[in-house]
Amino acid sequence: MGAYMQQHDIFIGSMLDELNLRFAPSQSEYGGVGGLDEMVALQQEFEIFKKGRPLKNSIAALNLLSRNNDVKRRWLELIGNLGRHPSNLQGMDGEQAIITALVDNLRASKPLPVFFASHSMLGERDNKQVKITPRARAVHYIEQDYIVISLPMQSVQAFEAYQQQRAAAKAQAALEAASAP
C-alpha cells in the first residue's frame, strides 16, 4: 500500500493501533470504558458497519484517523481501495470480507476482540488478499482469542519496482506487436 501512504508509511502502525484500541478486549471489568463493549453498543445504536456502506465511511465516523490531513486522506484512500483486493473469504473482496466479519462479530452473543495487522503482499498470489482469521491468539502476552484482519501492504520501493516492471513489459509487448508481420 506504499502507493497510497507514500512518505507517510510511518503512520500505518499508529493507524492500526487506533483500530486495535477500538476493538480491544473489554476494559469494563476494570472500570474502563471503550474497547469491544463500546463497539458492540455503538454498532447496536448506530449500525456503524453495514453491508453496502463503504468501510472508509465507517472508519471516518469513528474518527480512526490521523490529525494530519494528508495522512488522513491517504489512509482513507488505502481503506477505500481494499475492495480491489481479494479476500480469503469465498466470493468476497477485501472490503466486503472486513465489513462482514465486523458486522457478524459485533452482533454475536459472544463477540471477540478484533486485531488489525498487515502482511507483505509480495510473493505468492494469496499475499494480495485481505486475510480474515476467525479465531487466533493475535497478541502473545494477552491470553485472549481475537478475530484477526490482516491488510496486504508493500513498501513504496516495491510498488515503484512493480510499476517499472509493468511499464517495461508493456513496452516489450508493443515492440513485439510493431515488429510482427
Q: What is the pTM of this model?
A: 0.85
- Give yes or no for residue 126 having a pLDDT over 70: yes
Whole domain around residue 150: which residue ranges? 2-154
At 114, give phi and psi (nearest 5°). Answer: -120, 135
Question: Does residue 97 fall inside a structural domain?
Answer: yes
Question: Does residue 56 fall inside a structural domain?
Answer: yes
- Look at residue 159 in the predicted model and tell me its pLDDT: 62
> Per-residue confidence at 50, pLDDT binned at 50, 70, 90?
very high
> Per-residue confidence at 160, pLDDT binned at 50, 70, 90?
low
Question: Does residue 146 fall inside a structural domain?
Answer: yes
Question: Does residue 74 fall inside a structural domain?
Answer: yes
- Give yes or no for residue 124 having a pLDDT over 80: yes
Question: Does residue 167 fall inside a structural domain?
Answer: no
Question: Does residue 166 fall inside a structural domain?
Answer: no
Arithmetic mean of pLDDT, 65-89: 90
- Look at residue 167 in the predicted model and tell me its pLDDT: 78
Arithmetic mean of pLDDT, 156-181: 73
- Look at residue 2 in the predicted model and tell me its pLDDT: 58
Question: Does residue 64 fall inside a structural domain?
Answer: yes
What's the structural domain count of the chain? Answer: 1
- Give yes or no for residue 1 having a pLDDT over 60: no
